[in-house]
Amino acid sequence: MKRGENLMQTAKRRRAAAQLKRAKQRRKRSSAVQLSPTEIAAAQWLGCVLQSSPLLYDEEMTVDHFTVKAHRDLYSALLQIGPEDDLDKDLPRLRDQLQSVGYSVSEAADLMCAVLDHGCQLAHFADYAAILHKSRAEQRDCDDPSSRVRKNGRQEPSGDSSFLEFTTEQLLEQQEPLRWLLPGMLTQNEPAVIVGPSKSLKTSIAVDLCAALASGEKFLGQFAAARAFRVGLVSSTTDQHALTDLARRWSAASSSRSKRLPNLTWALSSDGSTNLENLRDWIAKHQLEVVVIDPLRLTSTGKSTQAAELCDLVRCCLENGATPILCCQSRKAIKSDASDIPRELGFARQWLLVRHRQNYLPGSGQHRLQLTLGGYAGQGGEWGVDIDEGSLQDPTGRRWDVTLREPQSIADETAACEAEAHAQRLRAKIRVAIQSVAENDAFKSRIRERSGISGARFEPVWSQMLTAGEVEPNPNFDRKTHVHPTYRLAERGSPPEKKEAVRSNPEAAQRAVPT
């Protein structure tokens, strides 16, 4: 019975392959339909999927990405059969699916053959997808009249041209003065981002910013808001406890009570996502002037689609009169300029880059951050931000103490840290050199030679190690046979921390005494 089923399946696949072959011959005899470059890219993208079905889910596509009806039908059929990495099995199922929407057997075969005839290459799959995403974004802009005409612009009736034409005098006359959220830092009606790697206190800084703008007080204890704004913060219900704790600590640090922040509205989503319709209604309900979105969890994993979703969020906020500020995690280390901003955040007109300038010691509550500001309005700056959050073991609990440091102070600190790290590397080389030579041959000159350190750098480090007791003369040095002493690494006793830990527990010490 099983053998018979296998024979039937084999025969079915052979018939499908034969139909494709006949369809290809018919295509060669018929005249080719002229397609646009975007339509050709769509056919090539579909051809790659026909060759390797799992590619269907590598890029977030919709039916609207395809302008040719046949391509839309084929894409919908592919979604129905699901990913199968076997073309022989896919073709009969795909043909049956196309038949269910009105295609004959020969028409379905012709469609698949026409797609494959466009010379698709799997190596260029991402390029085809990029062309489709770009075309879809342009189409979306064309469908939105607000994207073609700015509030202060004047569209000239010059045929089909969408350029906004001004004389220099008109351009200067229509320029409005900047309106600030934080004078010299963040402007109104310009999208902003807070960018940093994971665990860089982006959420904490976002809450500090929201509270300062809503109360009209100072951001990070130094940058005063222009006035009190109506602010909304969008986050996830999983972060509710952390957000409550941050708000409490900010209020305590700024001598403000939570009830003094009526302008700050919180919206928590169960899945962390942001629905545009709900966001629009929420902004209108509370007449929000600033919207901070954190964390930002998007439904798509493709970079191109993510960029489109981010632009939709920004446009939704701006169209409803709110300045959007998005918290975004960077996938790479942040340095100190706008080139570190991911490409999908290219819509940002102002930015705050956050990173740890020193490694965080777990449990200390001490964060040494670097904050870099930039924007198209000409604002810019760099500060060291020292944040003391305390710990749960502190008598007063956790806190929010912020100290800002000037760039020169950061530069001096960085230079000192680099010098100390360099000295540590040299000391490590010297220790390895001492261990690698024989005891009776560990002269200073031999140690320096083995370490590979030049004399000018070796001498100060050697003197420091002698003074600190890391290196000592060998007491077994034979003065009769050698003029110069030999050296060895100093013997270290038990770490004092362990002794203190034992002495700090009287009960444990008492139990250790024999009876």
**pTM given for the model:** 0.55
Residues 319 and 424 in one domain: no
Domain presence at residue 163: no
Reduced to 3 states (helix: H, G, I; strand: E, B; else coil), residue 186 is strand
Alpha carbons 400 and 383: distance in angstroms, whole number: 18
Q: What is the mean pLDDT of residues 457-465?
A: 88
Helix (H) or strand (E) segment spanning residue 290? strand 290-293
Q: Domain count of the chain?
A: 3
Residues 391 and 467 in one domain: no
HEC readout, 56-111: HHCCCCCHHHCCCHHHHHHHHHHHHHCCCCCHHHHHHHHHHHHHCCCCCHHHHHHH
Q: Which residue has the tokens 């808001």?
A: 225
Last residue of a domain, one of 347, 376, 405: 405
What does each C-alpha distance from 491 to 151, 426, 494, 499 come to in angstroms? 77, 20, 10, 17
Q: What is the pLDDT of residue 484?
A: 81
Report the percent of the chain where pLDDT is more than 90: 19
Last residue of a domain, one of 365, 381, 405: 405
The total of other beta-carbon atoms located within 10 Å of residue 157's CB is: 5
Residue 267, domain CATH: 3.40.50.300
Q: Which of 460, 189, 159, 412 is nearest to 321 (CA)?
A: 189
In the chain the first and final C-alpha atoms are separated, in Å, by 84
Q: At what angle do helices 444-451 and 407-436 cross, to 10 degrees?
A: 120
Residues 417 and 354 in one domain: no
Last residue of a domain, one of 351, 385, 405: 405
- Per-residue pLDDT tens digits for 285-334: 999 999 999 866 555 556 667 778 888 889 999 999 999 999 888 766 55
Residues 21 and 58 in one domain: yes
Residues 385 and 428 in one domain: no
- Per-residue pLDDT tens digits for 21-59: 555 555 444 444 567 888 888 888 888 888 777 787 777
Domain presence at residue 38: yes
Domain presence at residue 151: no
Alpha carbons 136 and 286: distance in angstroms, whole number: 33
- Which burial class, exposed, middle or buried, applies to 219 when counting CB atoms under 10 A from its CB (0-12, 13-18, 19+)? buried
Residues 447 and 360 in one domain: no
Residues 383 and 489 in one domain: no
Domain presence at residue 157: no
Domain presence at residue 511: no
Residue 25, domain CATH: 1.10.860.10
Residues 119 and 263 in one domain: no
Domain presence at residue 387: yes
Q: Say yes or no to pLDDT of 494 above 80.
A: no
Structure token pair of residue 353:
């880059």
Mean pLDDT of the chain: 78
Q: Say yes or no to pLDDT of 428 above 80.
A: yes
Alpha carbons 509 and 232: distance in angstroms, whole number: 57
Structure token pair of residue 224:
């005063």
- Per-residue pLDDT tens digits for 79-137: 877 655 455 556 777 778 888 888 888 888 888 888 877 778 887 888 888 888 888 88
Residue 423, domain CATH: 1.10.10
Domain presence at residue 229: yes
Domain presence at residue 398: yes
Residues 66 and 136 in one domain: yes
Alpha carbons 339 and 329: distance in angstroms, whole number: 15
Helix (H) or strand (E) segment spanning residue 308? helix 303-319
- Which burial class, exposed, middle or buried, applies to 181 when counting CB atoms under 10 A from its CB (0-12, 13-18, 19+)? buried
Grade residue 232 by pLDDT with cuts at 50, 70 and 90: very high
Q: Which residue has the higher pLDDT, 408 or 19?
A: 408
Domain that holds residue 388: 181-405
Residues 123 and 72 in one domain: yes
Residues 435 and 355 in one domain: no
Residues 195 and 298 in one domain: yes
